[in-house]
Structure 1
Amino acid sequence: YIYSIVYQPFYFQYSISWRFNMNVLRENAIDTGSFPEIIGKTFDKPTMFIGGERSHFLKKEDEADTKRYFPSAEFHYVPGAGHLVHADRPQEFINICVNFLSESDNSETVELVD
């Protein structure tokens, strides 16, 4: 299923190319829906989640649970985009990323904290 989504010619018409590690995706397909056991740990640095409004993977109703692990998280839902936001709406995706990275000091090494 993932292969059929990722390797559609439509996604290769943009000047920016995105690469997927299909071997890793195939080997870990079962685990992609799970979350590692990190109870009691948080990541408190700026974090951004970008989802398409038509995606079933990043849902607004999950924001509160996500914020338990990523208290500084911000969420962006791109209108008209599915799961592959960067391919469906590349300019919007890039704008969101550039704005986030411009506002964040991401120069330090970060770790999960207790």
Structure 2
Amino acid sequence: MGIRMIKISAVYFAIGMILGYYMSIVHQYALTPVHVHINLLGWTSLTLAGLLYHLFPDISRNMLTKIHVWLHNIGLPIMMIGLTLTLVMNTQTFIPIVAAGATLVAIGVLVFVYNVVKNLK
């Protein structure tokens, strides 16, 4: 599972970098929060979790790992789409989508933390 997460995080890294590059080219930085969250929650957090899962396989051999991976990777795109729509359309209409995605990611991260605390020996 660790290697798979690292590969997924590399995709997030490419998306975050391309978004940042695009904003620099057009000198329009309204999507900076999307860029930052993709890089932090997609690239950095998933890479670190993937490394932990790879280096300590005991914490990756349970249902908690699968729950973390699924919640994080379902919630983050939902949150980023909602945030993008909120910023581009300059409306609060999509905030519930942002909140739903953020809630999934937060639960996933809490499951990850519990898994590490409980199972890392």
- Scaled by the length of structure 1, the TM-score of the pair is 0.32
Query: Whose helix proportion is higher, 1 or 2?
Result: 2
More strand by share: 1
